[in-house]
Structure 1
Amino acid sequence: MPRTPISTYRLQLGPDLSFDDAAVRLDYLSSLGVTDLYLSPILTAAPGSTHGYDVVDHSRISPALGGRDGFERLVAAARAREMGIVVDVVPNHMAAPTPASENTALWSMLTYGPDSDYADWFDVDWAEDGQVLMPVLGRRLGAAMAAGELTVAHVDEPEHGLDGTSPVLCYYEHRFPLRPGTEHLPLAELLERQHYRLAYWRVADEELNYRRFFDVGTLLAVRVERPAVFEATHALLLELIEQGLIDGLRIDHPDGLADPRGYFRRLHEATGGRWSVAEKILEPHETIPADWPTAGTTGYDASWRIGQVLIDPAGSAPLGALMHELTGDTLGLLPELIADAKREIVTTSLRAEVGRLAGVISEICHDDVRLRDHTRAAITDCLTELVVAADRYRAYVVPGEPAPAAAQAVVAQWAEQAATRLSPERLETLDVVTDLVLGRETGSAGRRHEARRGEVITRFQQVCGAVTAKGVEDTAFYRWTHLTSLCEVGGAPGTFSVGSDELHAWAGAIQTARPASMTAGSTHDNKRGEDVRARIGVISEHAEAWIHLVHQLREVTAPVRPDLHGRTENLTWQTLAGTWTDKGPINASRLGDYLIKAAREAKDWTTWTSVDAEGEQALADFAEHLVTDPAVHELMQAWVARTTESVRVATLATKALQLTVPGVADVYQGSETTRVALVDPDNRGPVDHHALTEMLARLDSGAGPSGPAEEKLRLVAAVLRLRRRRPEVFVGARAGYQPLATSTGHAIAFARSADERPQAVTIATRLPVALGRLGGWGEHTVVLPPGHWRDVISGAEHPGGAQPVGEVLRHGPVAILEVADRPADQEES
């Protein structure tokens, strides 16, 4: 029987954390209650990789992490502690490293072009001129040639697989192979004869002829839909699974694949049904396709709902007014803002992808006399608006199969919306494009299943996903500053707040449909860690006080504050609230780096490709001022004091809910205690597990928590140990979920059961500021299931039936109760 994790602990392997380093942490993780180790990608990545998602060799475990021997030592150490191993898999792309010789498959393709044994690995369009674009030059090709920056040389770099026997084309640190027989040609002719085309890096946005990961030109898409490519890129992983070294898989970005369903089916069969989860972003109204044989998602769907059930809806209007004051944006503008951001992406960084798809449709129309009058310009316009209107990553249409009714309905909605943005003479072309992306017959009869028409279906969905990722999450979510904690990967900022009943309904549905899905609080992809989001979230409970504070901050910083874009300013103040703790602010470089990255992603006044160096320096200087100015310190320390209890409640409630709602509970490294973590690379930094080990040992010795960090760690350890004691309650066919009745909306309560018998109960406080205005818990009750219950955090005991909420939560804002039906000597410390 394949293993299903009960809880996972995510480790970010890299230069600061090898396999052997990870093994040293296992005693601590076992003591914490973790059942499975969850590792970032383990295959060989590009030189100097800090994350592992830029794989260059699928046949080797990363030597930089310790190689096969190091991995097996780690697995053996985990097995000795009865822990499983989950690894991150990157099927969508691999790296074009510097030098390219680090990637054997790519080197072969660049050398031999379409005749390479690896040509079918990559999604390249060879039709135009037989050259794959390599946009690596710092200036246009002619200028680089004139400056002598391109040379042919024998290079002896054994560390990169180059032995000097064959000449290579050199451009600074880049190395490219030469097509056999071309090495002695004049440079201009030599360049013309290669299977690749060196180009200025900006060319990629307009003329790229290979699919990539979003707009990252150094990550080339891999065609795992082809059986031979799947087998070659997964052979080592499948061997490790067969040998019992890997128990589960996290699949990175399946929406980029040509056929996600086919991929998961092939994976399910090849692994014998091992537990796997998909890094899948779902819209609030969307569920993971029922025909994907995967346990579920990596937990974005859980994360935003848990966060937003703790947001005070009363804060929406006043915070909207402040946003309008600072930025000019108004409530209700978000859909338009998202559409504008997506349209900007379609016409800039992903123009080449849309153009490639438009080219395929144009060819179809040109070759069909009934469609010949639909021009490429019209097709491009219609595609643009259809992609902009797409409200999710994919429509889940498979070439050769009738489009599901649900897919037809959502694409019809997109077409209706697109039609409002197009001139009347474009609407017939829109009908043709819509029919093609749905696989319906259009034009001459009998041509429905042509290969090019199938390609349209596939590429349209891949383009939708890329535009949504870059337009929504990497642009619009950095522009929308109503409450920035809501603008998270997989988030739903248009919702602002959800009620307890909505959370219960979602949890019940997950328990029924995907009970072994994952729940996440923090991930390596977060824009802000869970504790930063919690601190920002409590602004909603203190909205009027926050507005007053922002006005004070603006006043005391007026003499030095640069002429900030309004969105950048609003983001800055909220980032201060999210990162300023009782220990003070984070250092200026962390704050400045984050604000600059956020501004570049927002693309309002500076971008990654058109940097406003003067404005960015002014922003960095302002960040320095904010963390050193005594007046700012005084105001922020007063805010911290004012919100201490609200932050405590939000921090502990978030974690308690995340660890006990249906699914496999993940703990991202370091998030078992309070941690200030911003967007990568900030959130991927090393964690002091030695200090955490000492902290946990102190708590286990009977000491009470000395502050919020230890209080959160005590909660996490108690819940993870409970999950390990009673796995059948939380994961698997026997587990269940039942909301519990409360007489107040300020308490969220539910039971987790095994075989329909309640075994554990979670009770969490929400919106404590409003609760305080109402006089506290008073006579409010929560109805506990029959039995005798013990709080795994405080040890307090409670009978079943209607109990005063204030008594059950007497020791803290959350309570995790375990049915007391085991002798004490069988219970785990």
Structure 2
Amino acid sequence: MTETRPTPTRRLPAAGRPVPVSTYRVQLGPDLTLHDVADRVPYLASLGVTHVYLSPILRAAPGSTHGYDVVAHDEIEPALGGRPALDHLATVAHAAGLGLVLDIVPNHMAVPTPVWHNRALWSVLSEGSDSPYAEWFDVDWSAGDGAVLMPVLGDRIGAVLGRDELQLAEVEVPGEGLRTVLRYYDHVFPVRPGTENLSLAELVERQHYRLAYWRVADEELNYRRFFDVGTLLAVRVEHPDVFDATHRLVLELLADGVIDGLRIDHPDGLADPAGYLARLRDASGGAWVVVEKILEGDETLPADWDTAGTTGYEALWRIQQTFVDPGGAAVLDAVMHRITGDTSDAFPGIAEDAKREIVDGPLYAEVNRLTSLAAGICHDDLRLRDHTWRAVEDCLTELVVAFDRYRAYVVPGEPVHPESLDVLQTAAEHARRRLPPERAATMDVVVDLLLGREVGSAGQTRTPRREELIVRFQQTCGAVMAKGVEDTAFYRWTQLVSLCEVGGAPEQFALTPTDLSAWASRMQVSSPLGMTTLSTHDTKRGEDTRSRLGVLSELPREWSLLVDRLRAATAPYRSALLDGRTEYLLWQTLAGTWTERGPISEDRLVQYLTKAVREAKSRTTWIAPDDPYEQAVLGAARQALVDPQVIALFSEWEIRTRPAVRAATLGTKLVQLTLPGVADVYQGTEVPDPVLVDPDNRRFVDVAPLAARLVRLDDGAGPRDLADEKLLVTSRALRLRNDLPEAFVGPSAGFLPLAHSSGHSLTYARTVDGEPQVAVVATRLAAAVDRLGGWADHTVALPGADWFDVLTERPVSGGVVDVADVLDRLPVALLVRAAV
């Protein structure tokens, strides 16, 4: 039963503020403008969503394909149609009964080319710390001789000067007129007044910025960036005037009713996420706000955050792993070990090694900055002076590697929450085991500093450097976690690659229906208006790819035999350079994307594998590609796509797994759309589309064929294929949510697990004031059901009298009923309480 405790007020929008019942995410860009989205409104309305969920629309860097590289917060991106197009979309959407939700990016701005596109940054580069925008950016003005590092050069500065690649020029700068600038190919930088007549070398040294070789950024960076992306410069929205300036337009859009809610990108990058969200709630009048927060394992959303919830990654992996067969783990472990040498318990070590590599490489500058702060504090305090730079660096390195989540949320000057204390102390205990005993005393000091405790001379707790250390440590932990685990280890672990998802927990192979129901019951109380999702613009693989891969766990022995046959067939052209992990990734990638139409195109596969091996960083990287290795990988993939034996083997596999894939595809979708929360549908996922990581999952989606399919289904035609069936499930679930919002997002909505006799059925009800109004029955692990000879006499208990299945449009009796009767046409059922 749903718990009776009230939902925390921080998780609820203010009274009278709009709350989406469901959203449809559109990825705006050159191929999809705001005008284009307006043209899609009739289809989205007929699909049943209540809100169109827009990717960022503020002015972005020239040529941006995604909008997360903002350069101006006071303007709608002209390439998307500008403010007129947004107003038109809002008018069309509102007329159709739809609202708008907007994705915003408070953490960073772009360093565009030319820089003048970012007026605030151009001012800082022109005037340095005297610029009115100096406090906008998270720059350490005490480092780098007070000059902002600009790591844009293709070679070291001496070589660039020697080749005369830096030139003085007179150019027209928007808003300033003709101005003397320093040009490096397409890069243009302001010249400090009074330095124009100096020699070029002296002129370069006298600027408020330091032009440097791009590799310098990983070692000497003096500004905070988004993870390791040097062209995304962190913004200090913790300052009220910066918050006001960067949010004014968005808040006006909320106040005017143009948009109804917000999705906040990467709040963990902010200095004070809780403070930011409190300020946003205040300024927005309590609008519906969700956050892109990655919760690791059983981690919960911080209780002091003013947000309806997250964007749904914790729902994504739990739903997916409920449709994974735990009985397949041992065989899949054996296959992985046979090909890669990795053992079933190796993932934690792989993740730890990857994080350490990230700390020693792309994020060295961030850890070095932390060390400078902590070592400086120790050096200036007599009682701490014997804790050396090297000792402090060792302790901080092991501590960020040991962290098992994005951050601990210690706020300078505020009491440390018990959970934050436990997180930090647990990490410290793990780190101590990686350090020699003589580092123990230094680790104690470092932990005390990070917790804001008095350590060293009496009264030393609230100095600016100590407070900065607390904040920067947490920001660095998040970057190490994201780059080390999600962007490295997840590309190395191949037990079942669908488990390696954003926010996922691959070490937890599978969940039971009871696990999922227990989590859903908690969410119904703690975050009933957060999001649920199965696919986003950032997922490593789309939901349909993951569903196909999950079936490997249901047929592990058959998969093992298939892999052996694939290896035998491809042995003549598999180079010795092709390592086991990448080879096994290739076979699983083909299994996850092979449909009745065959494999994905060569260009999509090649693009994906190139990204995957470079992200894995084991044999090749983005900054140092190993061409022979990459050609060995891609050559094997290209030949496999046209190899008659491979084609025959995968075609047979696709036919063999088709029923299980059907059940997983429809089951995961229906469950996601009916669990507690605001259900999100990522563009195009209303029909099966086995996509991979971006840019593959951000490809243009043509909705005209989808709209035609929906019209045909609405006209009474039966579903002809899995695409029709998934569209039917999606549209009927969304429409039911729209018709009965009180059962899904209303204040009296509840979640009630239903009794069932088989672990292969997933069953629950959505209630209003405790009374079941909607019931869901889904097949879990269809291959096992088939292996057992069907449902036999297994039952599910449907409360009340009569029900109506909106998917098959037929009545279903209440009480204890046979699962086989409920699921005789589709592997899922969506039941609504029949009117009395």
SS in 2 for 1:657: helix
Query: Does structure 2 retain, via aligned residues, the 8 Å contact 1:592–1:619?
Result: no
Note if contact 1:155-1:162 (Cα within 8 Å) is conserved in structure 2: no
The question of whether the paired residues in 1 share the 8 Å contact of 2:170 and 2:181 is answered with yes
Distance 1:568 1:86 in 2: 39
For residues 164 and 494 of structure 2, the distance between their equivalents in structure 1, rounded to whole angstroms, comes to 48
Query: Deviations 1:753-777 (Å, cap 9, x if unpaired)?
Result: 1111111011101111222222221
Indicate yes or no: 2:810 matched with 1:796.
yes
Letter in 1 for 2:141: W
Assess if the C-alpha contact under 8 Å between 1:361 and 1:379 holds in 2: yes
Q: Which residue of 1 aligns with 2:424?
A: 411
TM-score (norm 1): 0.98
Deviations 1:17-66 (A, max 9, x none): 01100000000000000100100001000001000000000010111100
Letter in 2 for 1:448: T
Structure 1 gaps of 5+ residues are 823-829
SS in structure 2 of the partner of residue 812 of structure 1: coil
- In 2, Cα distance between the equivalents of 1:461 and 1:364? 18
Structure 2 residue 201 is matched with structure 1 residue 188: yes
Q: Does 1:605 align with 2:612?
A: no
SS at structure 2 position matched to 1:762: strand
Q: Which residue, out of 221, 224, 238, partners 2:234?
A: 221
Q: Name the amino acid aligned to 2:68.
A: Y
SS of 2:487's equivalent in the other structure is helix
1:622 matched to 2:639: no
Matched, 1:146 2:162: yes
Distance 2:403 2:458 in 1: 28
Deviation digits for residues 568-591 of structure 1 (CA, Å, limit 9, x no counterpart): 111100000001100001111100
2:775 equivalent among 753, 758, 761: 761
Superposed displacement of residue 623, structure 1: 2.0
Report the secondary structure of 2:146's partner residue.
Answer: coil
* TM-score normalised by the chain length of structure 2: 0.97
1:516 partner SS:
coil
Residue 80 (structure 1) aligned to one of 76, 87, 95 = 95
Match of 1:520 in 2: 533
In the alignment, which residue of structure 2 is the partner of 1:44? 59
For residues 396-407 of structure 1, what are the structure 2 equivalents within 5 Å? 396-407=409-420
Q: 1:124 aligns to what?
A: 139
Give the equivalent residue in structure 2 for 1:110.
125
Residue 285 (structure 1) aligns with: 298
State which of 566, 591, 594 in structure 1 corresponds to 2:605: 591
Task: String of CA shifts for 1:183-211, please: whole Å, max 9, x gaps.
Answer: 12111000110010011111111000000
CA displacement 1:604-634 (0-9 Å, x = unmatched): 1001111012222232222221221111110
Contact residue 491 and residue 616 of structure 2 kept, 8 A: yes
Is residue 2:246 matched to residue 1:233?
yes
* Aligned twin of 2:285: 272
- Secondary structure of the residue aligned to 1:723 is helix
Query: C-alpha displacement at 1:562, in angstroms?
Result: 2.1
**Cross-structure match for 1:826:** none
* Counterpart mapping for 1:323-722 below 5 A: 323-563=336-576, 564-722=578-736
Q: Give me the whole-angstrom Cα distance separating, in 1, the residues matched to 2:286 and 2:608.
A: 41
Tell me which amino acid in the other structure corresponds to 1:322: V
1:25 aligns with 2:25: no
What SS is found at the alignment partner of 1:736? strand
Partner residue, 1:821: 835
Residue 731 (str. 1) matches residue 774 (str. 2)? no
For 1:58, which of 69, 73, 79 is the aligned residue?
73
Aligned residues of 1:155 and 1:163 also touching (Cα < 8 A) = no
Identity %: 60
Equivalent residues of 1:400, 1:449 under 8 A apart: yes
Residue identity in the other structure for 1:74? L
1:162 is displaced (CA, Å) by: 7.6
Provide, for residues 362-398 of structure 1, a one-character-per-residue CA deviation record: whole Å limited to 9, x for no partner: 1111111110111111111000000111000011111
1:155 shift after superposition? 2.2
- For each residue in 1:215-268, what CA deviation from the matched residue of structure 2 results, as whole angstroms up to 9, or x when unmatched? 000000000011010000000001111111110000000000000000000001
Does the 8 A contact of 2:317 with 2:504 survive in 1? Answer: yes
Secondary structure, in 3 states, of the residue corresponding to 1:788? strand
Matched, 1:295 2:308: yes
CA-atom RMSD in angstroms: 0.9
Aligned counterparts of 2:141 and 2:689: Cα–Cα separation in 1: 49
> Counterpart in 2 of 1:771?
785
8 Å Cα contact 1:781-1:802 kept in structure 2? yes
Find the aligned partners of 1:771 and 1:549 in 2 and give their Cα distance: 22
Verify: 1:316 aligned to 2:329, yes or no: yes
Using the TM superposition, give the Cα deviation of residue 179 of structure 1 relative to its aligned residue in structure 2, in angstroms: 1.0
Q: Does 1:8 pair with 2:15?
A: no
CA contact (8 A) 1:589 1:624 kept: no
Aligned equivalents of 1:319 and 1:183: distance in 2? Answer: 66
SS at match of 1:13: coil
CA deviations 1:617-653 (Å, max 9, x no partner) are 2322222212211111101100001100010011000
**Equivalent pair of 1:101/1:162 in contact (CA under 8 Å):** no
Aligned partners of 1:354 and 1:383 also within 8 Å: yes
8 A Cα contact 1:648 1:708, kept in partner? yes
> Could you tell me whether the CA contact under 8 Å between 2:266 and 2:292 is conserved in 1?
yes
Q: CA deviation at 1:438?
A: 1.1
Q: Which residue, out of 63, 71, 85, partners 1:70?
A: 85
User: In 2, Cα distance between the equivalents of 1:781 and 1:798?
Assistant: 13
Amino acid at match of 1:29: L
Instruction: Return the alpha-carbon distance in structure 2 between the equivalents of residues 752 and 180 of structure 1.
Output: 67
Aligned residues between the structures: 819
- Give deviations 1:545-594, integer Å, cap 9, x for gaps: 11111111111111111231111111100000001100001111100110
Counterparts of 1:615 and 1:366, CA distance in 2: 47
Match runs of 1:149-164 below 5 Å: 149-156=165-172, 161=174
Q: Letter of the 2:519 partner, please give it.
A: W
One of 130, 150, 158 as aligned partner of 1:134: 150
Q: CA deviation at 1:714?
A: 0.7
Q: Find the counterpart in structure 2 of residue 827 from structure 1.
A: none
User: 1:707-729: per-residue Cα shift (whole Å, max 9, x none)?
Assistant: 11111001100100000000010
Residues 813-822 or 421-430, more deviating: 813-822
Query: What residue is the counterpart of 1:742 in the other structure?
Result: 756
Q: CA deviation at 1:499?
A: 0.5
Corresponding residue SS for 2:465: helix
CA distance in 1, matches of 2:452, 2:96: 52
Where 2:420 maps in the other structure, the secondary structure is helix
- Which residue matches 1:825? none
Cα distance, 1:164 vs structure 2 = 6.1
Aligned partners of 1:342 and 1:471 also within 8 Å: yes
SS in 2 for 1:558: helix
CA contact (8 A) 2:582 2:633 kept: no
After superposition, the C-alpha distances for 1:666-707 in whole angstroms (9 at most, x for unaligned) are: 000000001021100110111011111111111111111111
Whole-angstrom CA distance in 2 between matches of 1:616 and 1:812:
44
